[in-house]
Structure 1
Amino acid sequence: MDDVDVVLPCLDEAAALPGVLAAMPPGFRPLVVDNGSTDGSAEVAAAHGAVVVREPRRGYGAAVHAGLTAATSEFVCFLDCDGSLDPGVLPSLVAVVRQGKADLAVGRRVPVSAEAWPWHARTGNAVIAGLLRRRGLPVHDIAPIRAARRIDLVRLGITDRAFGYPLELLCKAAEANWRVCELDVAYRPRTCGTRSKVSGSVLGTVRAVRDMAGVLW
């Protein structure tokens, strides 16, 4: 049995999937959650050895929750499958949790170029992260890469099924007195230069900040 399940929420990422799945570390089982792709992402994922989970309800949180529900391993990671983050960093995140140094390990994105992280996305992220630090949570990023024990995540009972899912996770982790560890991770431009569905435009960033602010309120 694989030691770690990796949940990869997916919406039209056929171009990026082969590279992401090829970079998956040994013992890390990819669960690609197809969120209604029309570019053959599910077929590409299956052809490259991933387990495909179907989630027709649109939304980042809906896809992540479906992946968590399908996971069976003790440890679960979450990672965007657009090629912007290297799966090779996942063992470092899991090690922090496995060794008992933290209950939740998250990435702090370090862009490798200005194109990797648009100004509006960085600004929105900084605003939300600043609000979290004021609440005592030591994070500087609401990154789409994290690792924790599956049973602990299930017990948090996260209900958001849209862009607010990562923020609700952090808020509930703080309420449960989880130890949260943040590690720097390289953040690269998306494969083939495509834009993020969440923060690739000013409107997308505004929608994400709106959902996250709703969680905080």
Structure 2
Amino acid sequence: MTTNVDVVLPCLDEAEALPAVLRGLPTGFTALVVDNGSTDDTAAVAREWGARVVAEPRRGYGAAVHTGLESATSELVAVLDADGSLDPAVLPTLVSLVLDGDADGRVDLALGRRIAAGRHVQPWHARAGNAALAALLRRRGVPVHDIAPIRVGRRDRLLGLGVRDRALGYPLELLLRAASDGWCLREVDIEYRPRAGGRSKVSGSVRGTLRAVRDMSMVAIRT
């Protein structure tokens, strides 16, 4: 693959997990770490591994992703969780789908669908929350089985969707807006592994999962 792709990595205290993610990026993929107010050495570790670092002091997953998209310079942009649970080796497959389409035609947004590597990789409350949100999306006409923890699309078109949420509801609003605009979405199965380090702010606790489901459900009502 000769196309250069910026990989937006929204980060909040991911110094422990980042090296595994950055080490695994394929050739042609450039890390763009968005430090979302970390209190650990996230920014320093990212720079040590050669990543470009942008600061976004407004807390929120959506704020970090939006700043990453605005700061990216490549035509195609990937967004990837920075905890090491998803193998970056799938990125060229997602890029190829957007560039070349598939047997059914064009692909506007390529997504990863998490397949847990073991029963204990994803806590029960996280599995239940994700299943509920994916079912909500399908009822709204979005043909997905996950909430796009890894995705590839064209930068200008992603920004053009006008996603407003700057918190945990960002990916759900993005999918709803993309489907409403007639985008063709394709999911690719990707192994979901234990974090490379640290603790999840969402799936790491029942409270975190419930907060995410609440925020995303409110976005669905507004969108």
Indicate yes or no: 2:99 matched with 1:95. Answer: no
2:220 match: 216
2:110 match: 105
- What TM-score comes out, normalization by structure 1 length? 0.97
1:202 match: 206
> Could you list the per-position Cα deviations for residues 59-89 of structure 1 after superposition, in whole angstroms to 9, with x for gaps in the alignment?
1001001100100101000001111011111
Runs of at least 4 residues off by over 3 Å: none
SS for the counterpart of 2:120 is helix
Q: CA deviation at 1:115?
A: 2.3
CA distance in 1, matches of 2:159, 2:73: 12
Indicate yes or no: 2:219 matched with 1:178. Answer: no
- What TM-score comes out, normalization by structure 2 length? 0.94
AA aligned opposite 2:173: E
CA distance in 1, matches of 2:73, 2:175: 22
1:157 match: 162
* CA 1:167–1:86: 2 relative to 1, 3 Å: same
Unaligned runs of 5+ in 1: none
2:26 match: 25
RMSD over aligned Cα atoms = 1.2
**Are 1:195 and 1:201, in contact at CA under 8 Å, matched by a contact in 2?**
no
SS for the counterpart of 1:116 is coil
SS for the counterpart of 1:29 is strand
AA aligned opposite 2:16: A
Aligned-pair identity in percent equals 64
**Are 1:2 and 1:29, in contact at CA under 8 Å, matched by a contact in 2?**
no
SS for the counterpart of 1:191 is coil
CA distance in 1, matches of 2:157, 2:133: 24
CA distance in 2, matches of 1:43, 1:71: 20
AA aligned opposite 1:189: P
AA aligned opposite 2:147: I
AA aligned opposite 1:45: A
Indicate yes or no: 2:37 matched with 1:10. Answer: no
